[in-house]
């Protein structure tokens, strides 16, 4: 493994990913494109399984498919021996299409439609995670109408604060889960309804949670609630689902570690498993533990490869328009149409010049995407607007963004008439295509033109 990170290396001055020369690849494929590593997905799954199952053997891992639901990715996680978590009828459909059985699927979401609930009950999934009292009624109605009992888990807002990105906090107010104040009513109701069977409790405290402590607090609270729901229903629960959130580092933590910076992650799945499993084993060793990792499984298993298409120098101006400095810009052929989080969450994805991988990073650049939106600018390194790259970087060079496997492929857009990027993967040493790049025809394939009457 190169010091640059898992599966990245250098050969003759070029960046490699799973031994594939990315600069050479950019010379023969249309950029931007993704490259995934099957080997890295397998390693990440193995790390998680080992961390949790070595301490609590009855742990089941459900890959959060919202992180990346390409069929090839679902196939990799299935081959690695884990289950899948879905968040819509579409993700459920994809999971079944990829070969998962209903018993390998849990279904989260705050606004499931009747049709989605029917789909889930018909597929006999492991658990519909009920997010509100109102949804409880709906699941019951649907399952009674279908004449088939639904297995459910109840999602609770356990009121645990986390230090992560504000948009990724999910268990201290906000739209997810049933308020703690309402759990007694929820439990009473859930136990009385004929159409469903409460199999477990669910919580998810957020994404990119870089410390163990909030999980410990959340699990303590959930174990108290398990007792409460069991008393209400008069029968034991089968599982506690503690959601996802396990972090990956997005900066070189050796020189930049800052415990309050959620891009720094030095904790490992073993750290989380140690604390969580100790609590479960102490109070309820009989309970199965479900975890729903997304980011950890796929983030560092993919890169985006792009070209520099233009460069310019612009003066920095003071309030009276006097030049007070200058900035060197590199403008790329990819922006938030491909990696939405770089703008939506001002997320930091490390950039490497693939054809200058051995050159020192001795100059500062601003990186911009191609979109007609002044927000389409990549955040800089360490509190600056700038990226440090080789001073010789310019038009025609190949820029690689690391750790983009989660929450990118599924969130691409065609904004500004840009076909969505293709995706390739390294599987058993071979390069394969897993998603074809879109064409201009794809930009209009859903337009109805001339318009038709409805």
Ligand X SMILES: Cc1ncc(COP(=O)(O)O)c(C=O)c1O
Least separation, in Å, of the C-beta of 63 and ligand X? 9
From the centroid of its chain, how far is CA 247?
10
Which residue, 10 or 47, is less far from ligand X as judged by CB?
47
Which residue lies nearer to ligand X by CB, 60 or 397? 60
The helix (run of H) or strand (run of E) holding residue 145 is helix 133-146
Residue 324 is encoded by which pair of tokens? 């007070």
CB closer to ligand X, 208 vs 211: 208
Closest distance of CB 271 from ligand X, Å: 15
Q: Which is nearer to ligand X, 263 or 296 (CB)?
A: 296
Cβ closer to ligand X: 399 or 406? 406
* Residue keyed to tokens 């999934």: 125
Identify any residues that bridge with 312 across adjacent strands, giving them in sequence order: 329
Least distance in angstroms from the C-beta of 164 to ligand X: 9
Q: What angle do CA 139, 143, 148 make, to 5 degrees?
A: 145
Instruction: Report the number of secondary-structure helices (H) and strands (E) in the chain.
Output: 13, 21
DSSP state of 30: P
Omega prior to 32 cis, within 30 of 0: yes
Shortest separation between residue 60's beta carbon and ligand X, angstroms: 14
CB of residue 245 to ligand X, shortest distance in Å:
4
The catalytic position among 68, 191, 233, 372 is 372
Which is nearest to 105 in space by CA: 61, 154, 163? 61
Q: What is the residue whose two structure tokens read 């007609």? A: 372
Give min distance, CB of 1 to ligand X, in A: 23
Give CA–CA dist 36/25, Å, rounded.
Answer: 13
**Residue closer to ligand X, measured from CB, 116 or 376:** 116
Burial class (CB in 10 A: 0-12, 13-18, 19+), 321: exposed
Q: Which residues bind ligand X (CB under 6 A)?
A: 64, 67, 85, 108, 204, 207-208, 243-246, 292-296, 406
Three-state SS for 11?
A: strand
Who contacts 300 (Cβ-Cβ below 8 Å, separation ≥6)?
Answer: 5, 6, 7, 40, 44, 248, 402, 403, 405
Q: For ligand X, give the closer residue by CB, 204 or 356.
A: 204
Residue 40: exposed, middle, or buried by beta-carbon count in 10 A (0-12, 13-18, 19+)?
Answer: buried
**CA gap 252, 265 in Å, rounded:** 10
The answer to whether 248 and 256 have CB atoms below 8 angstroms apart is no
Is there a contact between 105 and 292 (Cβ–Cβ < 8 Å)? Answer: no
Give 7's strand partners.
none
Active site residue 372: yes
Q: Which one, 38 or 294, has the nearer CB to ligand X?
A: 294
Q: Which two tokens stand for residue 326?
A: 């200058």
Tell the smallest beta-carbon distance from residue 66 to ligand X (Å).
6
Which residues, including other chains, have CB under 8 Å from residue 6's CB and lie 6 or more apart? Answer: 37, 40, 43, 300
Query: By C-beta, is 105 or 332 nearer to ligand X?
Result: 105
- Provide the pairing of β-strand 127-130 with 150-157: parallel
Smallest separation (angstroms) from ligand X to the CB of 13: 35
| 198 close to 154: Cβ distance less than 8 angstroms | yes
Comparing CA positions, the residue from 209, 228, 334 lying closest to residue 275 is 209
What is the smallest separation between the CB atom of 330 and ligand X, expressed in angstroms? Answer: 30
Q: Phi and psi at residue 130, in whole multiples of 5°? A: -80, 130
Which residues belong to the active site?
372
């Amino acid at each position: 493994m190169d010091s640059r990170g898992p599966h990245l290396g250098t050969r003759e001055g070029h960046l490699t990913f799973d031994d594939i020369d990315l600069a050479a690849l950019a010379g023969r494929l249309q950029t931007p494109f993704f490259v995934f590593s099957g080997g890295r997905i397998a390693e990440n799954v193995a790390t998680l399984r080992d961390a949790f199952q070595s301490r609590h053997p009855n742990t089941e891992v459900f890959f959060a498919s919202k992180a990346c639901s390409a069929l090839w990715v679902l196939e990799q996680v299935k081959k690695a021996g884990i289950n899948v978590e879905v968040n819509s009828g579409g993700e459920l459909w994809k999971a079944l299409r990829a070969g998962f059985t209903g018993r390998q699927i849990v279904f989260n979401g705050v606004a499931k439609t009747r049709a989605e609930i029917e789909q889930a009950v018909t597929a006999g999934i492991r658990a519909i995670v009920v997010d509100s009292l109102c949804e409880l009624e709906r699941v019951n109605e649907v399952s009674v109408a279908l004449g088939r009992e639904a297995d459910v888990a109840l999602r609770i807002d356990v009121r645990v604060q986390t230090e992560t990105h504000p948009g990724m906090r999910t268990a201290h107010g906000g739209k997810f889960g049933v308020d703690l104040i309402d759990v007694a009513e929820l439990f009473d109701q859930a136990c009385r309804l004929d159409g469903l069977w409460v199999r477990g409790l669910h919580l998810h405290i957020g994404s990119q949670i870089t410390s163990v402590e909030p999980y410990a607090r959340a699990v303590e609270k959930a174990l108290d609630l398990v007792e409460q729901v069991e008393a209400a229903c008069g029968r034991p629960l089968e599982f506690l689902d503690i959601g996802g959130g396990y972090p990956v580092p997005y900066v070189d933590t050796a020189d930049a570690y800052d415990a309050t910076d959620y891009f720094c992650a030095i904790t490992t799945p073993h750290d989380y498993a140690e604390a969580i499993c100790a609590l479960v084993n102490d109070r309820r060793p009989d309970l199965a533990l479900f975890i729903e990792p997304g980011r950890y499984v796929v983030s560092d298993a993919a890169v985006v490869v792009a070209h520099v298409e233009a460069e310019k120098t612009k003066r920095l101006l003071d309030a009276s328009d006097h030049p007070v400095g200058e900035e060197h810009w590199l403008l790329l052929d990819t922006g938030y149409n491909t990696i939405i989080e770089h703008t939506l969450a001002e997320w930091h994805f490390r950039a490497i010049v693939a054809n200058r991988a051995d050159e020192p990073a001795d100059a500062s650049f601003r990186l911009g995407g191609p979109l007609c939106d002044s927000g389409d600018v990549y955040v800089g390194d360490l509190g600056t607007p700038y990226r440090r790259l080789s001073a010789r970087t310019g038009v025609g060079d190949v820029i690689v963004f690391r750790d983009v496997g989660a929450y990118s492929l599924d969130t691409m857009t065609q904004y500004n008439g840009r076909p969505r990027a293709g995706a390739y993967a390294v599987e058993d040493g071979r390069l394969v295509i897993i998603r074809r790049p879109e064409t201009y025809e794809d930009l209009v394939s859903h337009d109805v033109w001339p318009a038709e009457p409805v």
